[in-house]
Amino acid sequence: MKLLRNPILIVVGLLALALLVMPGCTDKPKAPSQDIEPNTIITTYGINTLPDSATYFSVTVYWRASDADGQAELYRYWVGALVVDDTLKTTSTDAFASIRLNFATAADVYDFNVQARDNEGVWDSTPATIRIDMANVRHGTVFGPQTVGSAIPDPGGLTSSGVHFIINATDIDGLIPEFEYAVDNTATWTTVPATVILNQASTLELDITGLALGPHIVYVRAIDNMGNIDESPLSISFVVVDYLRPDLALVSGIIPNAFYFLPQGGTTVDLNTAWFGDATWYFSSLQYRYAIDDTSNRSAWQTPSTATVTGLVAGGHHFYLEAMDQAGHSSFFEADFGVGQLTGDRGILLVNGIDWTQYGAECGPMYQDHGPYGSHSIDFWDLFEGASSYYPANLDSAYIGAGLIPGDTLGHYSSMIMIMNEYANSGPSDLEQFNSMFPLLMSYLNGGGNILLATRFGADFVKGDLATYGLSAGNSLTFDQIGVNHRTGGLVAAVEGLVNITGTGSWSLSDLLAPSSDAAVTKLFDTPDYPTAIGGIMVQPTGKGKFGFIAGRPYRFTHAPMAADFDYILTHYFGEQ
């Protein structure tokens, strides 16, 4: 206590205190040291020898990073420009990445960028960058393309002076964008693009015309996307002659002696027709032109083998068809056909499409019991010739012909019942006959004729224009069940006047329609076995014929209810007496 009372000590103490509190007389605190950025280095990269899809190759890039005051803990990488938005970068904790790059040509290169982030959250501000170049990495490890013939003449085969070749090529490490070919002399090659380019394979359709008569050799070689050329070109040897001509025949529509109907209330009709032309057997391709009545007014050349002939008036017509191959050689086909009104003066035509050899024991009794027509009178037509020994007496007496139905014959009938099955032991099946007559059947409906079709495999019959016939634009008949057996529950009548139809055997392989909301469609039968489907319909458009369809094997319908229902349909829907 005495010491504190000493004046000298008090002064010294005050001076010391003054020095402590005097501004500028104390040391400044040090700022924390700044974090050093990590340094990112790309070490190497590799490209798979073979692509994993067409020209896309798997590429793996490896890198590492150092950090003077910490450690790298995260990376992000990207392909392309050095400066991009961070959302375009991929983040990873791995020090490598595998990516897929498209090397469609030898000139394709890519810039790969990566940057590291250290444990303080600082990113490398100068990302590591490397240019990925296939040519520099693969060191000549490439696989050349291989060229093979797909449709080419046999050695020494005969052709015309215009030849159509189909060539295939494969390349296991890329694709084939082009080919080269040479005629007789490999000193001069012509480059042509591939016709079809697929994954590691291409096709070339090559036309060579103007060849001189005599022997020739055509050489073809593929070139892949890396510029590699097939070192063993395909060699095709053949002999050019001048007497080969195309095959040509009309197959539907305007066939010889066909007859078609004017639509109800109309004065002209349009007809779809199709033909078969073939010059592939001597390795040529075809183009076609046609004319109606006047050969001075032919159509333009075309490659499709179908045409719609418009504005045909009532009367006889003559159709001219020409097929010309690549050598300029032509074949010709002509057909007379007619157009007129549907008269319907003979009532009902019953058409059989069931194979008698296989199903005669079942369909004979069905016809004998009038199953398809009830109490009505009919004429009978068989799609199969030479089956009269199977006919019961009522069919034999009503028989008028067999094979395809001529249009001028069909035009005398107001309604047609078609009992079909899609089966044949030999020769054309009932479906093939149906398809051949398809344009005639559509013309018959549009002309006011009625058709009732009963068959299994209904989806194979009710198709194309028939599936949309009489319906509002955009609507079509569709099938809910394909190839099912709906015999157990049978057909349950859905309208007053019809009765339920049970069965005598399996109704397998039947196609059942989906319900339709179109105003022109009336449901005739339900199918309890398949509640979402229906077993029969009637399409009733305004100003045209009616079309009815019943699903099942008709020769296995119980005869009495079948006869009652078909009789009712003919009377109340088709207006037959």
User: pLDDT value at position 341?
Assistant: 92
Return the closest-CA partner of residue 50 out of 143, 166, 189, 176. 143
| Long-range contacts formed by 105-112: CB under 8 A, 24+ apart | 105/225, 105/226, 106/134, 106/135, 106/225, 106/226, 106/227, 108/134, 109/133, 110/79, 110/80, 111/79, 111/80, 111/81, 111/82, 112/42, 112/45, 112/61, 112/77, 112/78, 112/79
Average pLDDT, integer, range 430-441: 94
Domain ranges of the chain: 39-137, 146-240, 247-340, 348-573
Angle between helices 559-568 and 356-368 (to 10 degrees): 70
230 touches 180 (CB < 8 A): no
Mean pLDDT, residues 94-106 taken together:
88
Q: Mean pLDDT across the stretch 399-413?
A: 94
Taking a C-beta distance cutoff of 8 angstroms, is the pair 324, 330 a contact?
yes
pLDDT at residue 416 above 90? Answer: yes
| CA–CA distance, 231 with 215 (Å, rounded to integer) | 24
Helix (H, G, I), strand (E, B) or coil at 360: helix
State pLDDT tens for residues 32-87.
557 799 999 998 887 876 777 777 888 889 999 999 888 999 999 999 999 999 99
CATH number of this structure's domain 146-240: 2.60.40.650
Mean pLDDT of the chain: 91
pLDDT at 32: 55
On the question of pLDDT at 96 being above 80, the answer is yes
- So what's the pLDDT on residue 5? 42
Choice between 504 and 524, residue whose per-residue pLDDT is larger: 524
In sequence order, what DSSP letters do the residues of 192-255 get, joined into one string? Answer: EE-SEEETTEEEEEEEE--PPSEEEEEEEEEE-TTS-B-SS-EEEEEEE-S----EEEEEESS-
Model confidence, pTM? 0.64
User: So what's the pLDDT on residue 15?
Assistant: 43
Q: Which CATH class name applies to 247-340?
A: mainly beta
Q: Give me the pLDDT at residue 2, please.
A: 39
State the architecture of 348-573 in CATH terms. 3-Layer(aba) Sandwich (3.40)
Report the topology of domain 39-137: Immunoglobulin-like (2.60.40)
pLDDT tens digits, residue range 173-199? 778 999 999 999 999 999 999 999 987
The residue-averaged pLDDT of 131-144 equals 67
On the question of a common fold for 146-240 and 247-340, the answer reads yes
- Give the residue-averaged pLDDT of 297-306: 97
Q: What is the pLDDT of residues 262-300, one digit of tens each?
A: 998 899 999 989 999 999 999 999 999 999 999 999 999
pLDDT of 14 above 60: no
| pLDDT above 60 for 21 | no
Give the model's confidence band at 29: pLDDT under 50 very low, under 70 low, under 90 confident, else very high.
low
